[in-house]
A = this chain, B = another copy of it.
Amino acid sequence: MRPHPIAVCTALACACLAPAAHAKSNLLELLAQKGVITMDEYAELKAEQKGEPTVSTDDGFKLSTRDSTTSTPPSFQVGTLQQLDYAAYDDDKAALSDGSELRRSRLSIGGTFLTDWQYRVEYEFSGTTGVTDAYVTYNAHKPFSLTLGQFKQPFGMEAYASDKNLTFMERGLPFAFVITRAPGIGAGTSGANWSINGGLFGEPVGNAQAGNDGYGAAARASWAPILTDEGVVHLGLGATWRVPTQDNSTNASGPKFDTVRFRSKPESNVLAQRFVDTGEIRDVNDYTTVGLELAAARGAASFQGEYQMAQVSRGGASTLDFDGWYAQFAWTITGEARPYLANRGFFDGIRPSNPFGKTGWGAFELALRLSEIDLTDGNIHGGKERNATAALNWYLNQYLRVSANLVKVLEVDGGPMHDDEPTIFQTRLQFAY
């Protein structure tokens, strides 16, 4: 009644070839090998297993099916990102309010469906509730992928990287030039040490400005001329072009309300005041941004810097040029390296080797940043700001992180807060699961 064990082995082919394969076998394969069940029964039960989920807890709590006919079986995950901040301001000019806020409070679902499709939907509950991500990606022809919906425009190494993996609590001053997420269509591909992404985008969901919606394009390329186990050198280039929402009211007089505005808080978000602000620049035809990226990591040390500029073309007035840059250095005291994602062109988060608990303390990181933005040009007096920031990050485990930032506003020249140069202490508890 039972097939001879050797016959089973022959039929099972690779599952029997080596002890290594054996180690990966599951109960069904074992029982078939031992002849407890027949090959037909094995095949039948194997097919039924497709509906059995497995859980991975390496990166949150993720459910997958056992469908062995594909390398990307259907999967599902609910995720969350919580950032609770406290900030205190030492300022002798303006009344900056100390306090706490939930900087980000997000809930997301995502996964793989029909093997070649991925989706992600994320909502933000801090401030006005709304959508961040809402997209599907088709990746039947890897590494090429096509994305539809609202997602991040490819531009800027720090802007494009995940909100949960930033070295400092807030992105550097030139982030003022970036529109992060917008609805559109994007395409991307990548190689062992490079990536290219581009897309066409409409007006970000939730922007309630009257008039015909703005639109634009964004593209970014990254290249790592050096990429070894010891370290990486990263070069990046990005550009965006955008036509703002067009005022279509028939009774508008004077310059049209086709506006663009660049502004920034001093790398701290609890306070209400923007320290540099162009105000609404009217009668804008379109504007272009260009970004240059240089980064490097070796062991526990890493460097990252970007220069970004924006050129605003106006009807009946001169073209405006604004720019900014930041340069930062980080060092993981406990030795962990910052992983580089070559197919995305940015750094991932640090995973402590010894998580906090009975046998470890987690990872500690020190970082320094200089950043600058200049929003004054032509008849626009948005101001110029330069900041220095020191950071201490404590990664308790892969999901929990405590950050402390000391921001010294070095110079504010012009703009709404001229010569107001506070010192800011802020701290964050982050839970990303």
Q: How far does the alpha carbon of A249 sit from the alpha carbon of B95 in the complex, in Å?
A: 6
A117 at the interface (CB under 8 A from B): yes
Q: Quick check: A61 and B76 within 8 Å, CB to CB?
A: yes
Q: Which of B82, B97, B125, B399 contacts A149 (CB 8 A)?
A: B82
Taking the closest CB of chain B, its distance from the CB of A88, in whole angstroms, is: 8
Q: Which of B37, B65, B78, B109 contacts A55 (CB 8 A)?
A: B65
Q: Tell me whether A105 and B134 are in contact in the complex, defined as CB-CB below 8 angstroms, given that A53-B54, A63-B61 are known contacts.
A: yes
A17 at the interface (CB under 8 A from B): no
Q: Which of B51, B107, B114 contacts A399 (CB 8 A)?
A: B114
Q: How far does the alpha carbon of A126 sit from the alpha carbon of B130 in the complex, in Å?
A: 7
Q: Which of B26, B37, B117, B150 contacts A45 (CB 8 A)?
A: B26
Q: Quick check: B113 and A57 within 8 Å, CB to CB?
A: yes
Q: Which residues of B contact A52 (CB under 8 A)?
A: 52-55
* CB under 8 Å from chain B, chain A span 310-367: 355, 357-358
Q: How far does the alpha carbon of A431 sit from the alpha carbon of B250 in the complex, in Å?
A: 37
Q: Quick check: A205 and B101 within 8 Å, CB to CB?
A: yes
The residue among A36, A80, A117 with the most chain B CB atoms within 10 A of its own CB is A117
Q: How far does the alpha carbon of A52 sit from the alpha carbon of B429 in the complex, in Å?
A: 31
Q: Quick check: B28 and A95 within 8 Å, CB to CB?
A: no
Q: Which residues of B contact A280 (CB under 8 A)?
A: none
* CB under 8 Å from chain B, chain A span 102-159: 102, 105, 107, 109, 111, 113-114, 116-117, 119, 121, 123, 125-126, 129-131, 134, 136, 140, 148-150
Q: How far does the alpha carbon of A126 sit from the alpha carbon of B131 in the complex, in Å?
A: 8
Taking the closest CB of chain B, its distance from the CB of A147, in whole angstroms, is: 11
A377 at the interface (CB under 8 A from B): no
The residue among A54, A98, A99, A429 with the most chain B CB atoms within 10 A of its own CB is A99
Q: Quick check: B140 and A129 within 8 Å, CB to CB?
A: no
Q: Which residues of B contact A357 (CB under 8 A)?
A: 114, 116, 140
Q: Quick check: B84 and A203 within 8 Å, CB to CB?
A: no
Q: How far does the alpha carbon of A37 sit from the alpha carbon of B26 in the complex, in Å?
A: 12
Q: Which of B55, B100, B109 contacts A80 (CB 8 A)?
A: B109
Q: How far does the alpha carbon of A245 sit from the alpha carbon of B100 in the complex, in Å?
A: 11
Interface string of A149-179 (1 = CB under 8 A from B): 1100000000000000000000000000000
Q: How far does the alpha carbon of A356 sit from the alpha carbon of B355 in the complex, in Å?
A: 45
Q: Which of B54, B76, B130 contacts A125 (CB 8 A)?
A: B130
Closest to A53 in B: B55
Q: Quick check: B250 and A119 within 8 Å, CB to CB?
A: no
Q: Quick check: B27 and A45 within 8 Å, CB to CB?
A: yes
A7 at the interface (CB under 8 A from B): no
Q: Tell me whether A78 and B149 are in contact in the complex, defined as CB-CB below 8 angstroms, given that A95-B248, A123-B125, A205-B100 are known contacts.
A: no
Q: List 28 A-B pairs, Cβ < 8 Å.
A: A23-B44, A27-B27, A27-B45, A51-B54, A52-B54, A53-B55, A53-B63, A57-B74, A78-B78, A80-B109, A82-B134, A84-B183, A84-B205, A95-B250, A97-B210, A99-B202, A99-B203, A99-B245, A100-B203, A100-B213, A102-B150, A102-B206, A105-B121, A107-B123, A119-B431, A134-B431, A140-B358, A149-B429
Interface residues, chain A, CB within 8 Å of chain B?
A: 23, 26-28, 30-31, 34, 36-37, 41, 44-45, 48, 51-57, 61, 63, 65, 74-76, 78, 80, 82, 84, 86, 95, 97-102, 105, 107, 109, 111, 113-114, 116-117, 119, 121, 123, 125-126, 129-131, 134, 136, 140, 148-150, 183, 202-203, 205-206, 210-213, 245, 248-250, 355, 357-358, 397, 399-400, 429, 431, 433
